[in-house]
Amino acid sequence: MTLQTDNVQRILAIDSALRDRAIKVIPGGMYGHTRVHGGWLPPSFPQYYSRGAGARLWDVDGNEYVDFLCGYGPMIAGYANPEIDAAAKVRQELGDVLDGPTADMIEAAELLVDTVAHADWAVFAKNGTDATSMAVVIARAATGKTKLLKARVAYHGANPWFTPLMSGVTQADRANIIEYDYNDLASVEAAIQEADGDLAAIIATPFRHDGWADQEFADVEFARGIRELATRYGAALILDEVRTGFRLDPRGAWEGIGVRPDLTAFSKALANGYALAAVVGVESFREATTGIYVTGSFWHGSVSLAAAVKTLEILRSPEAVETMVELGTMLGDGLRAQAKEHGWDLVISGPPQMLALRFEHEESAKAGFAFADAAIRRGVILHPWHNMFLSAAHTVNDIERALAATDDAFAELDAVM
Ligand SMILES: Cc1ncc(COP(=O)(O)O)c(C=O)c1O
């Protein structure tokens, strides 16, 4: 396996033919954040991939990449992880969606309760949006109140309550949401006043990971403050760990600072890429959860639950997070040193295992896109406006290969900007 640092003119012929086919039968050819066209991703990104193994991906034309997106988070223990896939295969051969769940659901719930410090119970769904939405419904059922406080810009899913684009969304869909500013306790207090005694929940992510912005850690006073406010006003504190789950601290992202939410939403990395989401919660929310009606045709499918059991077993070992931190630090330090050498002011923010890049430049977005474009043509997948992800499957060799390519990418950036 050689990294094709000289192959800056990759061939994407099959990708291009697939795009021509797609545009005829899929509105826009592709939608959401994984679409390449329309300025969502740098133009040299392939739209279609064929396979993954470990921390490597191959596009449909056979080009190989060191990947730092991990499917935007779900891959955490390696693409096509043999142990996890073997556990999933056992269930696959016995039938996935049956008339009801298999014992895998109980085993996955037991593991979550055992792993996540505040969890006394768990319920499962498929997507992160299912989990955040369900957490809000549970909070409303438990409190009998209506209003939800969320941070401005923060992404919690793609349904009408949360989607960042208002096309097709009515004001009524948003009527019960009041926004606050992340890390600004006074704005939370003002939002609580606006809720006027009708506060059901405060939802927050463990750190601020909005796109197009530097990542920002939660101030300890802010995290403790919203915990205290939620308790004081009889509301639920919901931690949205859909993106951060099991990458920061498998016991719960804020466990290290002694802040426990009432409800946590997980998805993405929970089953290493098999579709699964979960809400876990404290005892006092069990009864309300028993009383709501939530389900989905595929929510009890056994394949993803069996995959989750194996994934959680792997992630419970401290080694998993340690590897991600160590290699993310190596990547970040390497990129920072290269940027300096090439005279670029590169801002790297967020935890090392979920780092984000931004060029301090009058044309910041253009530089970010040009850099990620140059990197992907040299076999490395970086992202210009979204946080990236390390996995427990990345190796020192992956980082070294990536950094060899990014050095060239910086040289190209010097030439084009
Ligand atoms: C913090 C957060 N919450 C919720 C979601 C929604 O998850 P899904 O796309 O699986 O519905 C995402 C997805 O990126 C997310 O990052």
355: which 2 tokens? 């780092």
Q: For 224-265, what is the HEC assignment?
A: HHHHHHHHHCCCEEEEECCCCCCCCCCCCCCHHHCCCCCEEE
Pocket test for ligand 1, best of 69, 209, 267, 279 (most atoms within 8 A of CB): 267
* Maximum distance among all Cα pairs of the chain, rounded to whole angstroms: 63
Q: What percent of the chain has pLDDT over 70?
A: 98
Model pLDDT for residues 32-43, shown as the tens digit of each residue: 999 999 999 999
Q: How far is the CA of 267 from the centre of ligand 1 (A)?
A: 8
Cα 317 from Cα 301, distance rounded (Å) = 26
Calculate the alpha carbon distances from 218 to 224, 336, 351 in Å.
10, 23, 11
313 Cβ contact partners less than 8 Å away, ≥ 6 residues apart: 111
Q: How far is the CA of 72 from the centre of ligand 1 (A)?
A: 10
Mean pLDDT over 169-196 rounds to 97
Pocket test for ligand 1, best of 69, 126, 129 (most atoms within 8 A of CB): 129
Mean pLDDT over 226-252 rounds to 98
Closest CA to 111 of 297, 308, 329: 308
Angle at 133 between CA 130 and CA 138, to 5 degrees: 115
Tokens 């970040």 belong to: 332
Q: Give first-to-last CA distance, the chain, whole Å.
A: 32
pLDDT at 9: 75
Model pLDDT for residues 296-348, shown as the tens digit of each residue: 999 999 999 999 999 999 999 999 999 999 999 999 999 999 999 999 999 99
Torsion of CA 123, 126, 129, 135, to 10 degrees: 0
Least confident of 27-36, 110-119, 274-283: 27-36
SS3 317: coil
* Ligand 1: residue whose CA is nearest its atom 7: 128
Cα 360 from Cα 221, distance rounded (Å) = 29
pLDDT at 4: 42
Is the per-residue pLDDT at 269 higher than 80?
yes
SS3 279: strand
343: which 2 tokens? 């005279």
CA of 241, closest atom in ligand 1: 1
CA of 132, closest atom in ligand 1: 4
Is the per-residue pLDDT at 76 higher than 90?
yes
Task: Please tell me whether the overall predicted TM-score, pTM, comes out greater than 0.75 for this model.
Answer: yes
pLDDT at 5: 43
Q: How far is the CA of 164 from the centre of ligand 1 (A)?
A: 12
Model pLDDT for residues 148-182, shown as the tens digit of each residue: 999 999 999 999 988 988 999 999 999 999 999 99
Count the Cβ atoms, other than its own, within 10 Å of residue 365.
14
Query: If pLDDT is split at 50, 70 and 90, which confidence band does 10 have?
Result: confident
> What residues line ligand 1, using a CB cutoff of 6 Å?
127-129, 132, 155-158, 205, 240, 242-243, 267
